[in-house]
Amino acid sequence: MKLGPVPWPPAPIKTERLVLRESEARDRAAVIELYASPEVGTYIGGSQPREQLEQAVPEIPGRRPGFFVVELDGTMIGMITLDRRDPDRLGRVLPEGGEAELGYLFLPESWGFGYAAEASAAALAWFAKTLPGEPVVLTTQTANEGSLRVAAKLGFTEVERFEQYGAEQWFGVWTSTTR
Ligand SMILES: CC(C)(COP(=O)(O)OP(=O)(O)OC[C@H]1O[C@@H](n2cnc3c(N)ncnc32)[C@H](O)[C@@H]1OP(=O)(O)O)[C@@H](O)C(=O)NCCC(=O)NCCS
């Protein structure tokens, strides 16, 4: 679900090494690459056939508030998403559900350099400024060690663990005021 009525897009957000910005048509190939990569898909339900993605991904992918393309030296290396969580899913920190949820997907060549943590921290800072005081949640398979490490580095704390999609899931929360 979309994040909701927030001012969008923000001016490109610069971190020490990266730029976060809204998506453009030139990002389509990298978005398809992310969804088609078996390595990227390991803990998120697998990859999708490239031909199917070529049909399904729009000319400008990810045009919604909270979808950030992450660039290194002018090239897309990954994406950060902040979307509203389906209230029917397991895990909840707000009584009515529909929490903002953080997601991060990076191309394998860029793993291990701290980019996911650096970009996510910038996206969370944007979120805290845009919707002050609102919590952000995150779900990841407990087997996804890299993702758990990123969550810990960002200051997410565990709410609960549960079984879903045939795997154990870690469900955590972050709020700007408790960092
Ligand atoms: C998870 C993911 C975003 C991490 O990206 P990244 O840029 O490598 O992450 P960072 O470098 O910021 O941080 C990774 C941390 O986890 C550690 N790490 C990375 N992969 C690891 C692994 N397989 N096992 C153990 N630790 C790992 C790194 O050493 C680093 O820790 P450190 O800062 O203490 O050295 C990336 O692997 C990815 O896109 N995976 C596929 C998509 C995915 O699973 N997304 C999460 C869905 S919930």
pLDDT at 179: 46
Q: Which two tokens stand for residue 159?
A: 């709410």
| Ligand 1 pocket mutation pick from 15, 81, 106 by most atoms within 8 angstroms of CB | 106
Domains of the chain with bracketed CATH:
13-128 (3.40.630.30)
pLDDT tens for 135-146 read 999 999 999 999
The pick from 118, 147, 154, 174 for probing ligand 1's pocket by mutation, whose C-beta has the most ligand atoms within 8 angstroms, reads: 147
- When computed from its CA atoms, the radius of gyration of the chain, rounded to whole angstroms, is 16
pLDDT tens digits, one per residue of 10-59: 999 999 999 999 999 999 999 999 999 999 999 999 999 999 999 999 99
Taking CA atoms only, the protein residue closest to ligand 1 atom 20 is 146
pLDDT of residue 177 exceeding 80: no
Residue at token pair 């899931």? 169
Q: Does the beta carbon of 113 sit less than 6 angstroms from any atom of ligand 1?
A: yes
Cα–Cα distance for residue pair 27/6, rounded to 1 Å = 23
Give the pLDDT score at 2: 81
Predicted confidence at residue 22, as pLDDT, reads: 98
User: Is any ligand 1 atom within 6 A of the Cβ of residue 49?
Assistant: no
Q: What is the mean pLDDT of the chain?
A: 96
DSSP state string for 7-57: --SPSPEE-SS-EEE---GGGHHHHHHHHH-HHHHTTTT----HHHHHHHS
What was the pLDDT predicted at 54? 97
pLDDT in tens, 60-116: 999 999 999 999 999 999 999 999 999 999 999 999 999 999 999 999 999 999 999
* CA 63 to each of CA 16, 80, 156: distance values in angstroms, whole numbers, following the listed order: 25, 13, 27
- In this structure, are residues 174 and 140 in contact, taking their beta carbons and an 8 Å threshold? no
pLDDT at site 9: 96
Confidence of residue 178 (pLDDT cuts 50, 70, 90): very low
Question: How far is the centre of ligand 1, averaged over its atoms, from the C-alpha of 119 (Å)?
Answer: 12
From ligand 1's centre to the CA of 58, what distance in Å?
28
- pLDDT interval class at 152 (50, 70, 90): very high
pTM of the model as a whole: 0.96
